[in-house]
Amino acid sequence: MNSELAPELVTVRGLLASLRAKIRRAWTVRGLSITATAVCIVAVVSFGLDWSLDLPLGVRAVHLCLMLVILGVVLNRALLRPLRTQMPEQDLAQAVEHGAPDLRDRLLSALDFETRLGDASETESRELMAGVVRDAAVFAGRLDAGLLVDTRPARRALGLATAAAAALVAVALAMPVEFSLWLQRGVLLSDIAWPRRTHLTLADFPATGPRIVTRGDDLRIVAVAEGDLPSEVTLHYEQLADPDPSKGAGAEPEVKFADTRRMFAVEGEEGRYGFDFRAVSASFRVWVTGGDDQDDAPLYTVLALVPPRVASISGKIVYPAYANLREGVVRDASFEVLKGSRVELAIKANMPLAIARMVPANSPNITTVPLAEDKKSMTLSFDVNESVDFHLELTALEGQTNRAEDDVFHLRAGEDRAPELRVLYPPARLYRTPRGNVPLKFVAKDDFQVSAVSLDVMRGSERFESSELWRDPKTPPAADRKRVDGYQRFDFEQYAGDGARPPKPGDVFHFTLKATDSNASTTASGDLVVELLSEEDFERRLSQRQGTLREELSIVRRNQQRARSAVVELRAAVAKSADDPAALDRGRNVQVDQGRVTNDLAQFLKGIQQVFDSYVLDRVGAGTTIDKLLPIYDEELAKPSDEEVFPASLYRRIVAEKRSDRLYDPDVLGALLDIMDLGERATGEVSPSVYKSLVAWTTEPAHDPAELERAEKSSTELAALLAEIDRRMQRWGELNLLIEIARDIRNTQDQLSKDPAGTKGLAPK
C-alpha cells in the first residue's frame, strides 16, 4: 500500500470501526433490555401464580426450571446471537454508502484500491485510485457514525424494560413480605408456607373437647371466615360409629360415612356460612375449606348422645280439707287438681344428671331442682293455686339436654264447679192422681265429689215436703262419688193420713231436686210441675190416648197386609219364572217394607207401654196387680241409665210374669197386659222372622223358594197377631166405656141420695 495514502485509509477504517462499535452497543442495549423485561415479567407471573395458587414445592421447582429455560432462550435470541454476528468492512462500507448515497461507492472503492495499489501488475491508473481514496477519506471524516445507526429498537426495548422493572418494583414495594417470601419459595425453593389469607373456624364449639348435642335434634353448623372472604365454603363430614368398648377408651373412632356439602351464606351476617343437620342421629366430625384454607384443620367433633328423660313419675295430691277426698295418685305429667291442693311429685331420670331446672312456660322465674345422691331422683312439692305449665329441663353429666317439647308438665288447677244435675224423670209437667206415684230418677255429677241430693216439694206456694234422696256416707271414707245415679219413688198416698191436708185433685205440686258437692256448691233442677187429676179425668185422658193408638195400629195392619200381599205375589211370580231379574228387586222392596212394619209396630207398642205405666204409677186398676208391679218398677228404674228411664227389660219382666199367671187383671190392665204380650211376640219373633227370610232369599245365590214360603207363613202369623191385638184394643175400649157408664150411674146415685126430689138446680117457678 502507498504510504502516502495511509492516513486516508485510517480515516476510512476508523469510520467503519466506529460504526461497528455503535451497532454492537445498540444490540447490547436492546438485548439486555429484552432480557430484563423477560426477567421482570417472569418474576411477576411466577409471584402471581404462587401467591394465588399456593404452589407446592415440586410445582415451584418445575416452574423455576421452565422460567430459566425461557429466560435463556430470550437471552440467546435477543443478545448473544446478535453479538456473535460478523460485520466485515465491505458490509459496513456498503451499509454506510446506503445511508449516505453521496459517497457513490467511494468507501467500497477505497477498500478495494488499497490492495490494488500495492499490486505492480495493476493496470489501472494509480493517480485515479489514490484520488478516490482521498475523496473517500474526506467524506468519511465528515460523517458521524452514530447517525448511521437506528437506535429506536434499543430505546423501545429499554423503555419496555424500564416499565417492567417499575412494575416489578411496585409489586415488591406493595407486598414486601409476600414478595420476600416468594423469593425464598420461588427462587430459592425454600419449603416455606404462604401466610394464609382466609381463616375458617366453626362457631359455638368449645375450645377443647367435642360439642355435645342431643340425638334427634336439629343442628346448625356455622363457619366464620376471617381475612379474605371465600366465594364458596365446603363442609367435610364424617359420620362416626358408636364407640366399641372392646377396643378401649382411646381407640380411633370408626368412620362409617363421609361426604361434603356446600354451605350457604348466612343472611345478614357477612363472613358467616351455615349448614343445617336435620335430626342428628349419630356422632360425626367436620372441617371446612374455602379460599386458600384448604386443610383439614381445625377438626371439630360432634357427639350425639341420647337425651336425658323422665323415666318415672309418682306422687300424690293432698286435696283441701273441704273436699273430703282421699289423697290422689299421680302417674302422668298432665293431670287436673283441685285449686288449693298440694302436689308432691317424685321424679326419676333415665341417667345421672348434672342439673335439673323447672322452666315455666309463661314466666322467667327458673327454679333449680335439687338432685338426690344418685343424681337421678328429685322431688317437687308445691301448692297449686293456678294452672301451671312447665318444662323440666334435664342436663346430663356429659352435657346433652332433653328437648324443650319433652318432659312438659301440665297441671290444671280446677275450680270446684257446681255439680251437674240431670233429672231423667219426671218431665217438666206431669199429671197424676192423688193415689199416684212419681218416679224420681236423676244423675248427679261433680268434678270431684257429690255430697248429697235433696228434694223440695211445694204445694202451690206452701212447702209440702223436703227430704234427702241421697247422702254420701262420711265413714268409712267415701269411694269415688263423681257420679251418682239415683232413684226414689214419691208416693202421694203416704201423705193421706198426715195431719196436713192430704193431696186432692186440683192440687199443683212443684218438685225441685238439688245436688250439693263437698264444697257446698249446689245445682237445682228446673221447676218440675205435677198436677193432680181425679181418676175420672185421668182415665178420660188415657181414653183419648187410646184413640191415637188405635189409629197407629190400623196403619200398622194396613202396611203389614200390603207387605204380606207382596210376599204372596212374589212367591207366585218366582214359582212361574225363577230367573225373573225383576223378582229380586221386588224382594228387596218387600224387605224394606217389612222393616218399616217392624219399626212402626215397635213404636205402637211403646205407646201401649207408656199407657200401662200411667195406670200402674197412678194406681188405677186392680190393687193387687199394681202392688206386684211396683217392686218390679222400682228394681228396674233403679238401674243406672243416661237416657232410657223405663228400660225394655222392665216390660220383658212384666210379660214374663203375665205369662206365668202371676199377673192378672180383668179390667184395663189385663187388656194392656195381653196387648203387651202379643206385641212382644210380634216384634221380638214373628215380624223379624219375615224380614230375615226375605233377606235370606235376596242374598242367597240360589234364591231358595223355601225362604219365601217361610216369609209368607210368618207374615200370615203376624197378621193374626195384629188382628188379636186389635181385638184386645176393642176390649180395652169397651172396658173404658163400661167404666164411664158405671161412673155416670154412681154420680147419679150420689146426687139422688143428696136430693131425692131432684129439684136442686131447677129454675124457680
User: Using an 8 Å Cβ cutoff, are 164 and 41 in contact?
Assistant: yes
- Looking at 15-24, 139-148, 374-383, which range is the least confident one? 139-148
Tell me the per-residue pLDDT of 99-108, one tens digit each, with 9 for 90 and over. Answer: 555 555 555 5
Predicted confidence (pLDDT) at residue 306 exceeds the cutoff of 50: yes
CB atoms inside a 10 Å sphere around CB 530: 22
Are the C-beta atoms of 285 and 211 separated by less than 8 Å?
A: no
pLDDT at res. 702: 64
C-alpha cell, 20 = 461497528
Mean pLDDT of 706-728: 88
Q: Where are the beta strands (DSSP E) in 166-243?
A: 198-202, 211-214, 219-227, 234-240
CB 151 within 8 A of CB 26: yes
- Residue 372: the pLDDT is 92
| Cα-based angle 523, 528, 531 (whole degrees, multiple of 5) | 160
Mean pLDDT along residues 149-173: 80
Residue 476 pLDDT grade (very low, low, confident, very high; cuts 50, 70, 90): very low
Grid coordinates of 612? 200401662
CB atoms near residue 760 (< 10 Å) = 8
pLDDT at residue 761 is higher than 80:
no
Instruction: For 541-594, write each residue's pLDDT tens digit.
Output: 888 888 888 898 899 899 989 988 988 888 888 877 766 677 778 888 888 888
Transcribe 525-560 into DSSP letters.
---EEEEE--HHHHHHHHHHHHHHHHHHHHHHHHHH
Provide the residue count of the chain: 765
DSSP state string for 42-99: HHHHHHHHHHHH---HHHHHHHHHHHHHHHHHHHIIIIIHHHT----HHHHHHHHHHH
Our CA angle for 31, 36, 37, nearest 5°, is: 100
Beta bridge partners of 459: 462, 509
In this structure, what C-alpha cell is assigned to residue 636? Answer: 228396674
Query: Measured between alpha carbons, how far is 699 from 732 in angstroms, rounded to an integer?
Result: 42
Please tell me the predicted confidence (pLDDT) of residue 749.
65
Residue 475 has what pLDDT?
46
Share of the chain above pLDDT 70, in %: 81
Write down the residue that cell numbers 408456607 correspond to: 193
**Does the pLDDT at position 22 exceed 80?**
no
CA distance 226 to 206: 19
How much is the pLDDT for 347?
A: 93
Residue 765 has a pLDDT of 45
- Residue 698 pLDDT > 70, yes or no? yes
**pLDDT of amino acid 1:** 47
Residues sharing a CB contact under 8 Å with residue 78, sequence separation 6 or more, in sequence order: 30, 31, 34, 35, 157
pLDDT of 137 > 70? The answer is no
Q: What is the pLDDT of residue 590?
A: 86
Mean pLDDT of 45-73: 80
The three-class DSSP label of residue 232 is coil
pTM of full prediction above 0.85? no
pLDDT at 587: 82
The pLDDT score that the predictor gives to residue 734 is 74
